[in-house]
A and B are shown apart, each in its own frame.
Chain A
Amino acid sequence: MAQLILDELRRNFGTVKALDGVSFSVEDGEFFCLLGASSAGKTTTLRAIAGLEKLAGGSVTFNGQDMTHSPVQGRGMSMIFQTFALYPHMSIYANLAYPLIRDRVSRSDIRRRVNEVAELLRVTHTLKRKPSTLSGGEQQRVAIGRAIVRRPQLLLLDEPLTNLDAKLRNDMRAEFKRLHRELGMTMLYASPDQLEALTMGARIAMIDNGKIVETGTPQGMYGAPSHTFVASMLGSPVINLVKGRVNQSGSHHTLELPFGTLDLSGVSLRTELSSGDSLTLGIRPQDLHVDAAVEGSGSADLSISGRIHLTEPLGDVTILDIDVRGSLLKMVLPEEQAATYSLGQDIGLSFSLTDAHLFDADSGARMN
């Protein structure tokens, strides 16, 4: 069972705490994503798992064995580096065969396995060439090939798509999913891109400042983020976050927002609110609708009006930036509907309370 358990990993670079107690576990055969902005601690986490980074504390358990102090070579893991790290002076064939040296397999076996992998990754035509003569996408696939040729139990991927252009990145996302399905190996994938995490990961761990903020499934984390940070990292365009103040009259709570008052009586909250508490309202651009009251539907809990400040047409949909009394809200409309509006025009908006995410304004923790 290639199960990986990280417990309270700590690593300091001088006074900077690169890893400040990172814990999560990856199940056997799982495609697990580690999502975080740059310098959040993703790379350090992966390097610590591989053994390239000395830990100040915590433990790495793999296959039920404590690997915290094992040498890199003995861990049965493979890693794909962000920079690919191909051996520039060796041919692609030699690059792919390199990890097999240790296994003392016969030349014909090496040839067979290298050819297999080259075929799987469609780089057979490059085998005799040097890495510098390959395109970025080919180099990437060779790097993958080198990592999987010895069939490791765990594959660590450190932002493997960051150095590729947008088109290749799209193709490679599908490629990784295919590889995971075909090889069935456990994969831990670090990425700064929420789209990669949402589309590929069976589960996601979100890391910030060397700490895991939340672990969960993409759907769960997107649908009910536990923290404003998680909410703003997942989803495109970025979720609208608006601060408001709680008003209490008896057992009745309302949230005073810059552009209106939201009745909170229908919401079950995790903690008791009192007057003067600060809350952050999160509402995804996709959950904002053109004012339904006009069309007579009663599903909206708050209707507001604003002025169209900016439009970003994306082809099929258009993102509208709407100025609502000083706060900018983003919403997404289908192209043909957006075309009926123009810049500076007034627009009515509404959203339903069931789509609203409420967070504590100070701690950022989810309230509903």
Chain B
Amino acid sequence: MTDVAAVHGHAKSGFWARLTAPENRGPLLVAPAIITLFVMNIFPLLWSFGLSFFNYRANRQNVPEFVGLKNFERVLTDEKIWDRFQTTAIIVGSSVTLQLIIGFSLAMLFAKHFPMRRIIMMLVLTPMMLSFVSVGVFFKLYYEPTFGLLSWVVNLFSSEPFALLSSSTGALIGIIFADAWMWSPFVMLLVLAGLVSVPKYLYEAAEIDRVSSWRRFVTITLPYIKSLLLLAILFRTIETFKIFDIIYIITEGGPGSSTESIAVNIYRMAFQNFRTSRSGALAYIILFIVIVLTNLYLYSVNRRAHEETL
């Protein structure tokens, strides 16, 4: 080693030479990333997991006290939490369904060729690339009772003042619509990728086989896009399950707590009420649910891949 360094003429110390030796360069280059990852991700993750078994509040100086599974027990028996789960489920169910319907229709449209297709598709894809904050602000302004676009349109037909976000159902619809608007293009992109992967000759063969266009869709198109569709559903379910930003900007969980999703609830618990340990326990429960969902997906994908090779 030292020979090499000496030849190059800058042998400073044995340690430096060893550190920059060719066989150590790989680890050296990777080290900053690993250190950052550990400090910023892995350590806080493990630390918060540990904290969820203690009685700890980030705004108090008290020494944390070990309480075992008490935090988990408290969270799971809290009716408020179950109510937030229900709200989240309604948002996930409606929004993902809406995203699928809109995304699928858009994909069917863009699978055809028409003038300005590329430009229109870029426009359609824009919502997905915006930040949550800007989408939230857009919709907040749209729903604004006095000068918002929606209220203005409604006032063309009735003289009653219209405030969508003032009723709990209206607020939910507003959130669901904003989320679906933002993420339908994502579903479209995945479904479109599936649609264009179907070989054209299969449709021709099916036409020769005298199969109706609806049946062609069911027997050829659907099987081809099934796995991508499933992927879209999973991605969107997981993401929507964690929905926070849009709600926080548009309604802050209100009116009352009618649009408070589980993620908004965790945020409040952790950073407004400073029940740090309890919110940690709830966050881990959600992580667990997401892992289960992911594995369900992976299982079904692997099974299909296995079937195909048979």
Contact = CB atoms under 8 A, between A and B. Distances in A.
Interface of A: 50-52, 72-74, 77-79, 81, 83, 85-87, 89-90, 98-99, 101-102, 129-130, 132-133, 146-147, 150
Contact of B207 (A73, A129, A130, A146): A73
Nearest to B201: A85
Nearest to B220: A87
Given A87-B220, A102-B210, A52 B310 contact: no
Given A52-B207, A102-B211, A147-B208, 11 more contacts: A51-B207, A72-B204, A83-B201, A85-B202, A85-B204, A85-B205, A89-B223, A90-B219, A99-B209, A102-B209, A132-B308
Listed residue (B205, B219, B224) with the most chain A CB atoms within 10 angstroms of its CB = B205
B224 A101 contact: no
A50 B208 contact: yes
B215 interface: yes
B206 interface: yes
Contacts of A81: 201, 204-205
A44 to B, nearest CB: 13
B306 to A, nearest CB: 12
Contacts of A83: 201
7 contacts: A50-B208, A51-B207, A73-B210, A81-B205, A83-B201, A98-B211, A133-B310
Contacts of A130: 308, 310
Interface string B105-125: 000000000000000000000
A129 B309 CA distance: 10
A81 B207 CA distance: 13
B208 A72 contact: yes
B224 A89 contact: yes
Identify the interface centre among B204, B209, B308: most chain A CB within 10 Å of its CB: B209
A89 B223 CA distance: 7
Top 7 A-B pairs, shortest CB-CB distance: A99-B209, A85-B205, A102-B210, A73-B210, A72-B207, A89-B223, A85-B201
A25 B202 CA distance: 29
B208 A78 contact: yes
A79 B209 CA distance: 9
A98 B209 CA distance: 7
Contact of A101 (B204, B207, B215): B215
Contacts of A101: 209, 211, 215
A51 B208 CA distance: 9
A84 B276 CA distance: 64
A77 B208 CA distance: 7
A161 to B, nearest CB: 18
A98 B206 contact: yes
Interface of B: 199, 201-202, 204-212, 215, 219-220, 223-224, 308, 310
Contacts of B310: 129-130, 133
A342 B254 CA distance: 101
A85 B198 CA distance: 12
Nearest to A128: B310
Contacts of A98: 206, 209, 211, 219
Given A89-B224, A130-B310, A133-B310, A99 B201 contact: no
B165 to A, nearest CB: 47
A205 to B, nearest CB: 22
Nearest to A52: B204
Nearest to B208: A79
B84 to A, nearest CB: 41
B210 A99 contact: yes
Contact of A146 (B201, B209, B215, B220): B209
Contacts of A133: 310
Contacts of B220: 87
A87 B206 CA distance: 9
A259 to B, nearest CB: 51
Nearest to A50: B208
A81 B220 CA distance: 17
Nearest to A82: B201
Nearest to B222: A89
Contacts of B219: 87, 90, 98
Nearest to B308: A130
A178 B8 CA distance: 81
Nearest to B304: A89
Nearest to B205: A85
Contacts of B204: 52, 72, 81, 85
Contacts of A102: 209-212
A364 B211 CA distance: 47
Contacts of A150: 209-210
A81 to B, nearest CB: 6
Contacts of B223: 89
B115 to A, nearest CB: 18
Nearest to A78: B208
Nearest to A152: B208
Nearest to B213: A73
Contacts of A146: 209
B307 to A, nearest CB: 8
A129 B310 CA distance: 8
Contacts of A86: 205
A87 B211 contact: no
A134 to B, nearest CB: 12
Contacts of B224: 89
Contacts of B212: 73, 102
Nearest to A99: B209
B194 to A, nearest CB: 13
Contacts of B201: 81, 83, 85
A53 to B, nearest CB: 10
Contacts of B205: 79, 81, 85-87
Contacts of A87: 202, 205-206, 219-220
A150 B223 CA distance: 24
Nearest to A83: B201
Nearest to B223: A89
Considering residues A51, A73, A81, which has the most beta carbons from chain B within 10 angstroms of its beta carbon?
A: A73
A86 B220 CA distance: 11
Contacts of A147: 208
